[in-house]
Amino acid sequence: MKEDLTAMKKMIAIDLDGTLLNTKSEISAQNRAALIRAKEAGYIVTICTGRATFDVKELLGDLDIPIIAANGGTVHTEGYELFSRITLDQEAGKRAAKALVERNIYFEVYTDDALLSPFDGKEKLKAEFDVIKSANPNEDIADLWEGAMTQFKQFGIKPVDDIRQIFESNEATYKLLCFSFDMNKLQEARDLLSEMPELSLTSSGKHIIEVLPKESGKGHALKKLAAHYGVDRSHIYAIGDSPNDLSMFEEAGHRIAMGNAVDVIKEKSTYMTKGNHEDGVAYFIDLLLKNQFHEKKTLV
């Protein structure tokens, strides 16, 4: 017998990269079908990602569900209706951009309409990658380069001559994403940015720093969206794989780690599903819909 959800609203919040998306950065047919089944069963299904809203919308196609994007910078309900947004402080963004340019670190700026990227971004990252490749001639690090190139495959990416100029306008910005193969340079940037009180830092990968407004984050946005729909924390199922999913986990009664998740996510989880290359999201959802979900901290 299916559980009656009419008096007990439930929400499934799902990260994208490394979670819902497979290794080709696509939503598989199995995962897409599982989202539809969950929605039809009465669950409120939402995407909770660091990607830009327009990029998520392109990935979802005609699947109309709430979207938490830019690590909580924007929240849209069904029908792509803007529910809330938190923008970067203009002066703080300007200081952060200046510091990153001075340290020759590749970064992107998220706005309402585009994902701004320096025109020479690929060349900058290629130069760093070649240094690493030369230092590790016997190691296969092709996957490292492919991971970096994922940034340039996102919908709405727009190369610009001087990325700092966005902070001279009145256009809303939601986050900066920094990427570098040079870990020393990245740590220097992290130390500097962490001293700016208007900003908070998180990460979706070893070579990435995500720079957000202090009051932003997936967790803050998920809490607001759940309150909007009348969903209690104990009835939120959050699925993720990376450190930037930790704040989302803090607001969820059920914390599902992907099989490919980093250790800190697995440690904070209440359940571990299969990896993103095995349609781990669909696997979990099907267990939930069949009333076969029992929390355990072991890999399936």
Phi, psi of 236 (to 5 degrees): -105, 130
Q: Give the count of alpha carbons within 13 A of 290, CB side only.
A: 10
In angstroms, the CA 256 to CA 284 distance is 8
Q: If you ran DSSP here, which 8-state letter would residue 244 be given?
A: G
In angstroms, the CA 44 to CA 41 distance is 9
In angstroms, the CA 284 to CA 292 distance is 9
Structure tokens at 65: 């569900």
Active site (annotated) includes residue 232 = no
Give CA angle at 243 (264, 98), nearest 5°: 140
Per annotation, catalytic residue among 15, 17, 55, 279: 15
The residue assigned the tokens 């001279």 is 168
Catalytic residues: 15
